[in-house]
């Protein structure tokens, strides 16, 4: 299984939810269906 490719919009939205809106990384990763590791990268 290869590395998943996330669009720039997807990445930007995920970061925005954590950095600006104040959601927990775990909460955002669960909502988006990705690992917390992927979100930190």
Which are the contacts of 24, defined by CB distance < 8 A and separation ≥ 6?
18
**pLDDT tens track of the chain, all 41 residues?**
677 789 999 999 999 999 999 999 999 999 999 999 998 88
Long-range contacts, stretch 33-37, CB < 8 angstroms, 24+ apart: 34/4, 34/6
pLDDT of residue 1: 64
Tokens for 3, please give them.
């590395």
Count, residues in the chain: 41
> 20 with 34: CB under 8 angstroms?
no
pLDDT of residue 2: 73
């Amino acid at each position: 299984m290869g590395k998943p490719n996330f669009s720039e919009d997807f990445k930007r939205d995920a970061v925005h939810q954590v950095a600006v809106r104040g959601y927990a990384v775990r909460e955002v990763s669960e909502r988006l269906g990705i690992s917390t590791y992927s979100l930190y990268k």
